[in-house]
Chains A and B, each alone.
Chain A
Amino acid sequence: MTQRVVTVLGVGALGSHVVQLLRNLNIHLRCVDFDRVEMKNLASQFHAKKSVGASKVRGLQQVMQFLFDRKIEAIPHRLKPENSAALLQGSALILDCLDNFEARSLIQAHVEESSQPCLHGALAPDGQFGRVIWHEHFLADHEGTQGAATCENGAHLPFIAIVASYMAFSAQTFLEQGRKVGFQVHPGGVVPV
C-alpha cells in the first residue's frame, strides 16, 4: 500500500522537532526548506553539529537515518508561487512550520484552492505563546517588530518542544482518526481550540 505523503514546510526549531516526533508513523515524510544549518541553530533545533553548513533538509535526512533508520524526502527549495503546487501536490497533510507572513499566505492560498488539510504551527518571538491551528481557523500574523528576537540562544527550547509535540499529536490524531484538534499553548498550560 502506498504511504500517505505528509509535507513539512520549514525544518527549523518547530519543524525539525515535529519531523522526529512523527518518525513512527507509516507515512512518507517530505521536508521542504531552503535554508542551511548554522551553529546558532543547534541550540534550539533538531540538527546535528556535523550538519552545520549543509542544507537543513539534507542534514535532517542524515540525522534521521543515522539515529532512527528513518527515511525522509529532502527538498532544499524555497516555497514560491511558481513551485508551491508541485511541492504540495499529493500531500495528505501539510504542516506549516514556516516563519514569515508571505510564505504562510502562499500556503493558505494553495490550501484554499486545493482543499488539502493543513495544520499551522506558530510561535511568539519571546517563547511565551504557541499555536497549533488548522487552516480553517488560522490567520497568519505579521512579523510586527522588525528584528524581534527568536530563539538564538536556545532559551525557549523546552517550550518550542512542547509546541512541536502538540503539533505532532494533532497531525497523528488527524492521520489515524480523521479528527482535527488544535491548541493554543502558553507556558502554564494549553487551551484546546
Chain B
Amino acid sequence: MHQNRASNVTIQAHQARVNITWRGHNGDLPDPVTREASLHEILQWVTEAVQHGDVPGIPADMQADFRDFVVDRFAATAARPYHLIQVRPKTPFGVGT
C-alpha cells in the first residue's frame, strides 16, 4: 500500500496510478485503477475524465480523444513503490535525421 503524496490517495498493491499527458498538460486520474484494467477501459476512463475536467492539472477538453495514444505499464520499483500506468501521445521521433 502506498500513499500518493501528490493526490493524497492510497494506492493498493493491486492498483495503479494513472498518469495522463494531454496537449502538454499532465495529471493523474483522481483515483487509482486496478492494474489489470484493459486498454479499452483505461482509454475510456481517461477520455471521460479529461472531457469533464476531472483530472487535476488538465483543463477540461470536450474534444479530448485518446484513440491514437499509447498506454505504458510500469511495475512498482523501490524508487516508485506503486504501479504506474501512463497514457501518452506517440513518440516516434528522436529527430535523428
A123-B91, A141-B90 known; A11 vs B96 contact (CB < 8 Å) = yes
- A100 contacts which chain B residues (CB < 8 A)? 92, 96
A13 to B55, CA, bound (A): 32
A151 to B91, CA, bound (A): 13
Chain B min CB distance to A43 (Å): 11
- A90 contacts which chain B residues (CB < 8 A)? none
B34 is an interface residue with CB less than 8 A from chain A:
no
- A153 contacts which chain B residues (CB < 8 A)? none
A123 contacts B57, CB within 8 Å? Answer: no
B94 contacts A99, CB within 8 Å? Answer: yes
* Per-position binary interface string of chain B over residues 60-97, scored 1 when its CB falls under 8 Å from any chain A CB and 0 otherwise: 00000000101010100001100010101111111111
A151 contacts B21, CB within 8 Å? Answer: no
Chain B min CB distance to A22 (Å): 15
Surface stretch bound by B, among A80-88, A168-176, A182-190: A182-190
Chain B min CB distance to A181 (Å): 8
A120 to B44, CA, bound (A): 29
A150 to B72, CA, bound (A): 23
On chain B, the number of residues with a Cβ less than 8 Å from chain A's Cβ atoms is 25
* Per-position binary interface string of chain A over residues 8-36, scored 1 when its CB falls under 8 Å from any chain B CB and 0 otherwise: 01111111000000000000000001110
- B57 contacts which chain A residues (CB < 8 A)? 188
B88 contacts A143, CB within 8 Å? Answer: no
Determine which of B89, B94, B95, B97 lies in contact with A129 in the assembled complex, contact meaning CB atoms within 8 Å: B89
B14 is an interface residue with CB less than 8 A from chain A:
no
Nearest B residue (CB) for A124? B89
Nearest A residue (CB) for B27? A188
B93 contacts A144, CB within 8 Å? Answer: no
A186 contacts B26, CB within 8 Å? Answer: yes
Q: A100-B92, A193-B74 are in contact. List 13 more A-B contacts (CB 8 A).
A: A10-B95, A10-B96, A99-B95, A100-B96, A124-B89, A124-B91, A124-B93, A137-B72, A139-B70, A184-B72, A186-B21, A186-B25, A188-B26
Q: Which A-B residue pairs are the 4 nearest by beta carbons?
A: A10-B96, A13-B95, A122-B91, A97-B94
Residues of chain B having any CB pair with chain A under 8 Å: 19, 21, 23-26, 57, 68, 70, 72, 74, 79-80, 84, 86, 88-97
